[in-house]
Amino acid sequence: MAKVLEGPGMGLMKKWGLTVPNYVVVTSVDELAKLGQANEWLKKSKLVVKAHEALGSRFKLGLVKVDLDLKGAEAATKEMIGRHVGSITVAQVIVSEMIPHKEEYYCAVKSTRTGTDILVANCGGIEVESNWERVNRLALEVGQQPSADALERLAKDAGFTGSLLKKMTDFAGKMFTCFDSEDAHYLEVNPVVLREQDSELIALDAVTLLDGDAKFRHPDWNFAFAAEFGRAYSKHEMEIMAVDSKIKGSVKFIEIPGGDTAMLPAGGGASIYYSDAVVARGGKLANYAEYSGDPPDWAVEVLTDKVCSLPGIKNIIVGGAIANFTDVKKTFGGIINGFRKAKSEGKLKGVKIWVRRGGPREKEGLDAMRALKDEGFDINVFDRNTPLTDIVDKALQNT
Amino acid sequence: MSILANKDTYVVIQGGVAGVNAARRMAEFCYLIKRSLNVMAFVYPPDAGKTNEIPYGSGLLAIPIYKTVAEATKHHPQINTSLVYIGADRAMRGGMEALDDPHIKLVSMITEGVPEKDAKILGRHATKLGKVFNGPSSIGIVSAGSCRLGVIGGAFDNLVLSKLYREGSFGVITKSGGLSNEIIWICSQFADGITTAIGIGGDAYPGTDYVSYLEMFENDPQTKAVVIVGEMGGDLEERAAEWYGAKTRRVKLIAVVSGFCQESLPKGMKFGHAGAKEGLKGEGSARFKSDALKKAGSIVPATFGALGPAIKEIYQELLKSGLVKEPVELAVLPKLPKSIEEAIKADEVMVPPLIRTTISDDRGDEPCYDGYPASELINKGYEIPHVVGLLWDKRLISKQEAEIVKRIMMLSADHGPCVSGAMGTIIAACAGIGLSQSVAAGLIMIGPRFGGAVTDAGRYFKHAVDNKMSVDEFLTYMKKNVGPVPGIGHRVKSLRNPDKRVKELVGYVKSLNIKTPCLDFALEVEQITSVKKDNLILNVDGTMAAVLVDIGFPVDSLNGFFILSRTIGLIGHWVDQKRQDSRLIRLFDYLVNYAAPKRREVPPLK
């Protein structure tokens, strides 16, 4: 699942015939000033300026400013660009026209196990969250397109009447087309508003989650996906993502500041059990990591390097289940090189390493790990006869 | 018994390299349980019409590759299962092709990163057709003692350790591929092993989920209990709980769910498989799932580590109740034949070497010449002549000797287009022949009459010097035993028209004040022979030969100096012709003396 920021999200909606407010995404005041000269609406409309970053609670942070003229928007842009919020530096703002309206509605489309749900409510904004029973749902089976009748009934059931009924039916239909054509997991417009001047439905705010796996058939997805955890990716995380995108198999790395137990386990499934075990034993995770699918040894070495660079770690958990086809000796070779490099750089002082693994060439791999003891590493190596997460118990008993 | 995969399962594999690797693993399993290979065919259009070689025991099986699934099932109508190893962008089409084939009842997709929409469409299509679509991102399916689909089960040793050669009593369903082996292993160590283990894949909406498989296990009398290994996200575990709690089930259910760490991670931080994407404390969280499963009557160990003991406890109960009996282990299991490399490593065989080398070795990170790493030679200032010395005579020659070798090479690198070697190369180049063959055409000319006299010249001058012959004795010896003296005589050069190359080389070597007995002898010979006939001078071959013998090169290597040097020229001639885009050439009739009989009538064939 891949989150898309408002700008590109609104771009996709516009592409499929939904009306969105005029907007521009800028990286500097100069850019906005130039655009102001070229675009009538920037001069004439009241404007909203928002930080265009994957941040929650932008209102509270003062990163949303409303009811501005162009001069005010420029001032707000100047104020926001370059601001640091946690690990994120605001690099872009989105400037859009304010849409005068009285009525707010809600429309969303989401992927379900059996197909797709289209959701419509005749209230919007924060009101919909407290009145969830007013949301009406049209459940579609996999591959099924909504009929005009079904869409109209959905809008009708949600309480739309008269000319608005037709407009909402049309809006929901276009939402579905956008969702279906763009391989979305989730599309939400809240609020949908009725523009006063022409009584047209406008998508005022969009949440867009796309299926990152479908990128291969969307050459026009020229935007970057946003991090989903309310902070920007760190330099080390981005380096591992770059490696991951290049290799057969995978390597994953996410930093968790403040932890002291570093994770270097194999497998998307086992890695979570290892993390669970650390938490269950009262440990504090310093990161999440995982390598799987028989990745090349150099990729595992880069991952090891990042894990060893985590500050303040006391233990490194090199766990893993019994692999199907990941070559234990080869991948451990990468880890061993990473450990040696880290040690030569003065890292790993006082850090205990815990190893448990099985799989193709397990004996050779485990023997090579054991041999690190002779090089002065504080390393404890276990084979398949030690249950998966017992090394976590042993590691955390010691500290 | 087992579910999904059994002795009657026959497979087509859709895809390239990954599919072939899976077939190899599957062949290991078939070999272990003594059944013939269950992979009947591959579908991989780029290689259609060829075969993939799959080792089985100590032999190799050739499995045909087809363009389409329909072709494969037409030729092998027993095929009822397809494994999809096609890239994510084409997986949907491949999966559909397999599902639409009337022979195929089960499609298991191994491909990772398949768009969710595609996976849902495939799952739906399979349901409509009454077939099973397993995956995507599935590690495979294995039924102990009868059938392996994919790499699930791991290496051969692991198959044996996990007792996959015979049936147990536990069914396994996992999202995680890596953990499937772990659970199979646990079932074999804490109980009697598995019936069938299925990897359903870690995606949010797998084609077939726990409930469908639980239903199948419930109907398989051999399976007494099922272990499911779940993850946070989605609602598959909740639905399994709902199924289990709905009525009294024959099978016991043991479940673990991962993702409790989520509760103490910074908000919004999620990781793991694609499906593990929802839930803090609410629906979809590890705790919610665990609680639902517990409530439904499933055994839910507190940690993954407690899974083994929990399985053991159930197994003990099953034994006590008489529902299962202790398995009888097979006395002798087939051993996978070792590859020759493995056997040598284990000191189990001695292979007499086919060849022996004493000059070089590139098994390390760089070539070593006579033991010296190439990079070290470079960094310490050694040059090409030293490499020649190491590889041809296994010694590190001196700087002075290297300089002589270098000069010899420079002097004999080329001799214009008219000589036999260059002509051979040029004619070939003009005929459009490639570099190596054209150069070889030129090199072929090197022999007794062209350039190939160096070795012989060296041999006889050395013979004379070693035997302290006088020039007269030598010439008599040569006349009697050999014929013309190699290294003496030139077609165009003579006393009056001396060979500058010879002068140059002799002058340089003489200036060094080193001992040159062979060269001295050769020059004495020239003095006598050139008096007899003007062009019986010491030629460049003879000079080179004498000098090289004097600086210690073995006689047998001497022609090599000419071959090596002249190769430089031959390559130059080929490149030269190529650069000019020269056209095919042939001899003109006027350059040929047609001495063959005149045209005449062919007599009738008798």
Q: Which residues contact B87 (CB under 8 A, 6 or more apart)?
A: B111
d(CA B326, CA B180): 23
Between B496 and A109, the more confident residue is A109
Mean pLDDT, residues B197-215 taken together: 93
- B202 close contact with A: CB closer than 8 A: yes
Mean pLDDT, residues B308-325 taken together: 95
Percent of chain B with pLDDT over 90: 83
Residues of A in contact with B302 (CB under 8 A): 280
Interface contact flag, B258 A141, Cβ < 8 Å: no
- A365 close contact with B: CB closer than 8 A: no
pLDDT tens digits, residue range B246-281?
999 999 999 999 998 888 776 656 665 655 544 434
The chain-wide mean pLDDT, for chain B, equals: 93
Identify the DSSP state of B264. G
Q: Find the residue in A nearest to B230 (Cα).
A: A269
Asked if the peptide bond before residue A191 counts as cis, ω within 30 degrees of 0, the response is: yes
Q: Which residues contact A34 (CB under 8 A, 6 or more apart)?
A: none
pTM of the model: 0.81
Among residues 329-348 of chain A, which lie with CB inside 8 Å of chain B? none
Annotated catalytic residues of B are: 273
* pLDDT level of residue A398 (50, 70, 90 thresholds): low
Mean pLDDT, residues B389-406 taken together: 96
- B21 close contact with A: CB closer than 8 A: yes
Among residues A53, A35, A51, which one has the least CA distance to residue A43?
Answer: A35
Contact between residue A266 and residue A326 where contact means Cβ atoms under 8 Å apart? yes
Mean pLDDT, residues B559-587 taken together: 96
Encode burial over A374-383: b for 16+ CB neighbours within 10 A, e otherwise. eeebebbbbe
Among residues 256-295 of chain B, which lie with CB inside 8 Å of chain A? 256, 258-261, 263-274, 276-277, 286
Angle at B583 between CA B578 and CA B588, to 5 degrees: 135
Residue at token pair 């040696």: A340
CA atoms in the 13 A half-sphere facing the CB of B77: 0
pLDDT for res A53: 86
Percent of chain B with pLDDT over 70: 97
* pLDDT level of residue A399 (50, 70, 90 thresholds): low
Residues of A in contact with B208 (CB under 8 A): none
* pLDDT level of residue B129 (50, 70, 90 thresholds): very high
Mean pLDDT, residues A156-161 taken together: 95
Mean pLDDT, residues A148-166 taken together: 95
Q: Find the residue in B nearest to A143 (Cα).
A: B121
ipTM of the complex as predicted:
0.90
Among residues 82-111 of chain A, which lie with CB inside 8 Å of chain B? 111
Identify the DSSP state of B597. P
Closest in B120, B175, B267 to A269, CB measured: B175
Identify the DSSP state of B359. S
Query: How many contacts does A have with B, using Cβ atoms within 8 A?
Result: 180
pLDDT for res B275: 54
Closest in A143, A267, A387 to B124, CB measured: A143
d(CA B274, CA A268): 9
Interface contact flag, B261 A389, Cβ < 8 Å: no
Identify the DSSP state of B281. S
Among residues 301-330 of chain B, which lie with CB inside 8 Å of chain A? 302-305, 308
Mean pLDDT, residues B162-188 taken together: 95
pLDDT for res A3: 86
Identify the DSSP state of B601. P
Percent of chain A with pLDDT over 90: 80
A273, A356, A364: best mutation site toward chain B, by most B Cβ within 10 Å? Answer: A273
- A378 close contact with B: CB closer than 8 A: no
Pairing of strands B59-66, B51-56: antiparallel
Among residues A93, A91, A92, A88, which one has the least CA distance to residue A233?
Answer: A88
Q: Find the residue in A nearest to B139 (Cα).
A: A324
Quick check: B318 pLDDT over 90? Answer: yes
d(CA B136, CA B95): 10
Identify the DSSP state of B451. B
Closest in B140, B181, B272 to A272, CB measured: B272
pLDDT for res A76: 94
Q: Find the residue in B nearest to A363 (Cα).
A: B157
- The count of residues in chain B is 606
- Which range among A53-62, B83-92, B203-212 shows the weakest confidence by mean pLDDT? A53-62
Mean pLDDT, residues B204-229 taken together: 95
- The token pair at A89 is 């530096």
- A271 close contact with B: CB closer than 8 A: yes
Identify the DSSP state of B555. G
pLDDT for res B402: 96
d(CA A345, CA B590): 80
**Phi then psi dihedrals of residue B54, to 5 deg:** -115, 120
Identify the DSSP state of B590. G
**Phi then psi dihedrals of residue A178, to 5 deg:** -60, -45
Strand partners, B253: B226
Quick check: B92 pLDDT over 90? Answer: yes
Interface contact flag, B181 A359, Cβ < 8 Å: yes
d(CA B506, CA A169): 102
The chain-wide mean pLDDT, for chain A, equals: 92
Angle at B461 between CA B458 and CA B467, to 5 degrees: 130
pLDDT tens digits, residue range B497-522?
888 989 999 999 999 999 999 999 99
Q: Which residues contact A6 (CB under 8 A, 6 or more apart)?
A: A23, A50, A52, A94, A205, A206
- The token pair at B456 is 């012989």
Mean pLDDT, residues B426-455 taken together: 93
Mean pLDDT, residues A315-323 taken together: 95
pLDDT for res A131: 84
d(CA B355, CA A146): 75
pLDDT for res B265: 75
A176, A213, A284, A285: best mutation site toward chain B, by most B Cβ within 10 Å? Answer: A213
